[in-house]
A and B are shown apart, each in its own frame.
Chain A
Amino acid sequence: MKKALQLLSALTTGSAAAGVLLLAGALAFVLITRGSAAISPAFLTQETREAGASGGILWQIAGTLILVATAALVALPFATALGITRAWLLPPQSRPARVLGFILQLLNAVPSILLGILGLILFTGMLGWGKSWLAGGVLLGIMIVPTAAVMLANRIESLPRGQLDAAAGLGLRRGHIIRSIILPQSAAALLSGMLLGLARAAGETAPILFVAAVFSGATIPTGIHEQPVLALPYHIFVLAQDSFQEASRTNLWGAALVLVTLVSLPALAAIPMRHKLHNAADHA
């Protein structure tokens, strides 16, 4: 019986892993076979021409980077504060801590199109920003906060209790303990959460659709009011919807390949860094 169960669980795990690998492999295969024809130095450094049928995606790359960087800057302080509050400032397992955990889950579950509409009402309408990169960055940032905050909180909860006690026993204040124990030892988890969230946010179309992205006619923003950007996911979205030319199709896949590469590069780069950070922290 036990043997059979073990076998069953091994089979499920194995087939799940194989399924995921297969899916990822198939995606990579499609992306590379269809997209690589478009990739060239010119594609990366020129602006779009003929509605995507020729030219490159320079400003879409720039716009996506601007949105993602803004999102990261917006999300980092909030994710840090919420994670520390959830896991440490509020008494563990207390009602406020549980409520905050629930709110973070709820925020994570808000459909991105809803965020986009909220942004339209708040930033474009009430604040009068029009279409602005900042609105897009803030909305994407809001999307990242729960992922990063929850990963940070989980790590803080697993920190050795003794160190926090020892620091408190020295009369260190909360701010001291946060800076000298909690943050250094959970920075890697925060980083993972941020990257995970950013990778997802970078590919989102819905939140930037109404408030931040246009298909053409924008470069680097110089202010906030009516300063939209081009963005890779929006570019792909429009090409997929409207283009019937072969050249546009190829460029669509090229843009998708660039987007996937852009979001996976930092995640890959972070693996050795995370390893180092965790190693240092776990020696405690």
Chain B
Amino acid sequence: MPDPILDIRDLTITARRRLILDRVSLQARRGQVLGIIGPSGVGKSTLLRAINRMLELQPGYRVKGEIRFHGHDIHDADVDPDTLRQRIGMIFQQPVVFPTTIAKNVLFGAARLRRLGKSERAALLDSSLREAALWHEVKDRLHDSALRLSIGQQQRLCLARALALDPEVILMDEPTSALDPKATEAIEERILAMKATRCVVLVTHNLDQARRVTDWVACLCADNGHGELRFSSFPRDGRASAMLSETSCWASSTPSSLRLFSSVSGGRRRLGRIAILSACSAG
């Protein structure tokens, strides 16, 4: 097995004295999709934001333990967080497009971080949009406002924007939870295509999605009021399926997240539950 690109060791995160994640250790390799699942509020987003040091943009967080990127701790003094974020891209739950044209959105990072000639711009636009499977839909309106794209297209635009920086790692925080099934399928297909050259870390609530696209899955649980790694395994492994379906992991979520069950993400949650039940009966 190749050396891990990301090697997380005993990562402990506190926010204003409150323990959020306790000694989480994980590895992610090139050519691999690492899935992270767990109940709402367990600290999945916090974990992702620690990996590209976005966490430190907000006050109050303390991070202990190591996150090694190619063997180097990202918290070392000689690591520049901005450069790190260029190499570790991030896709958010809600697509965020900038109020400008499609082309300018794709090159939003790249054009500011490097000097790009005219032909380089065109080539980068082409390759990024193709890798995000958006090229054919937008090639005739590159200079239209990106705000007119559908949500699913906007999410792929965000992907293209991140890909334009040619990152080695892509962190995705529930990238499909705002999307319909067709748009979700498009993103999942992109994840599978991207992993040939990159390493993907995918946070998802959808167990079926985890089974479909991940190569290794880590389950975080909040049994003791803070996030801990419950187990990690092959997602399609029989034992893992049973574990994934083990409802205690979901049921032990914090009260605030239980409320979420029935409100905002109710629909999504129910889908998750049905997946659990069907897995149970299948096992």
Point out residues on A near B: beta carbons under 8 Å: 91-94, 160, 162-163, 165-173, 176, 180-181, 185, 280-281, 283-284
Contact = CB atoms under 8 A, between A and B. Distances in A.
B58 A91 contact: yes
Contacts of A284: 98-99, 147
Q: 6 closest Cβ contacts across the A-B interface?
A: A170-B109, A171-B86, A171-B85, A91-B59, A166-B96, A169-B90
Given A91-B59, A284-B98, A284-B99, A168 B109 contact: no
Given A162-B94, A280-B99, A281-B99, A168 B59 contact: no
Contact of A170 (B57, B58, B145, B161): B161
Given A166-B96, A180-B112, A171 B84 contact: yes
A172 B94 contact: no
Contacts, number: 71
Interface of A is mostly: helix
A170 B108 contact: yes
B54 A163 contact: no
Given A91-B59, A180-B112, A172 B96 contact: no
Contacts of B108: 167, 170, 172, 180
A166 B158 contact: yes
A171 B83 contact: yes
A203 to B, nearest CB: 37
Interface in B123-182: 145, 147, 158, 161-162, 165
Residue among B52, B84, B90 facing the most chain A CB atoms (10 A cut-off): B90
- How big is the B interface, by class? 20 to 34
A172 B94 CA distance: 20
Contacts of A283: 99, 145, 147
A73 B96 CA distance: 35
A168 B147 contact: no
B86 A170 contact: yes
B89 interface: yes
B109 A171 contact: yes
B113 interface: yes
A173 B82 contact: yes
25 contacts: A91-B58, A94-B59, A162-B94, A162-B96, A165-B92, A168-B57, A168-B85, A169-B52, A169-B85, A169-B92, A170-B86, A170-B113, A170-B162, A170-B165, A171-B82, A171-B86, A171-B109, A171-B113, A171-B165, A172-B113, A180-B98, A180-B108, A180-B112, A181-B98, A283-B99
